[in-house]
Amino acid sequence: MKKEQKQITAALEQDFCKLIVILAARSGKNKVTWKELEQETGFTRQALSKKEAIVKAYKEANQSSNILEDIGRRAEETQSKLDKIKEENIKLKKLLADYDETFVRWFANATSRGMSIEELEAPLPHSMKTKARLKDLKK
């Protein structure tokens, strides 16, 4: 007595493609395995992999999971960088506020001792090394 073999019809093929998407969505990592498909459909991997649409749906489901993992990893990296930049921004704002406070204090002290704004804005004199180098260049 021969055992009756089941065939994968076009309707079953479409159902299996939908099933692949559902199984991938159910799993935590958006992946599906051939073993899961075998258990759900009752067909072997070889029988399922003969149908191009099923293989294509399988590959797309597993590929999309890789893309989602990559996007998730990039999002975490970007969030980490953003957090670091925010921390640095806070530190720099504090430093700038400290510099502003120091400038106001120095300016008040300098003007109270009779220095004019022109004297405060005058360029710094050259160092002894720079003066010597400039003399050598003029010769």
Residue 42 is predicted with a pLDDT of: 84
For residue 101, give both structure tokens.
């406070």
Residue 80 is predicted with a pLDDT of: 94
Residue 138 is predicted with a pLDDT of: 77
- Asked if residue 48 lies in contact with residue 41, where contact means CB atoms within 8 angstroms, the answer is yes
Residue 104 is predicted with a pLDDT of: 94
117 residue type, one letter: I
Residue 137 is predicted with a pLDDT of: 80
Residue 88 is predicted with a pLDDT of: 97
Residue 64 is predicted with a pLDDT of: 67
Residue/partner pairs of 49-52 with CB below 8 Å, 24 or more apart: 50/8, 51/8, 51/13, 51/16
Mean pLDDT for back-to-back runs of 10 residues, the chain (139 residues): 63 85 76 84 85 86 69 86 97 97 93 89 90 83
Residue 91 is predicted with a pLDDT of: 98
Domain ranges for the chain: 10-115
Residue 68 is predicted with a pLDDT of: 62
3 residue type, one letter: K
Residue 66 CB partners (closer than 8 Å, separation 6+):
none
Write the burial class of residue 16 (CB in 10 Å: 0-12 exposed, 13-18 middle, 19+ buried).
buried
Residue 3 is predicted with a pLDDT of: 44
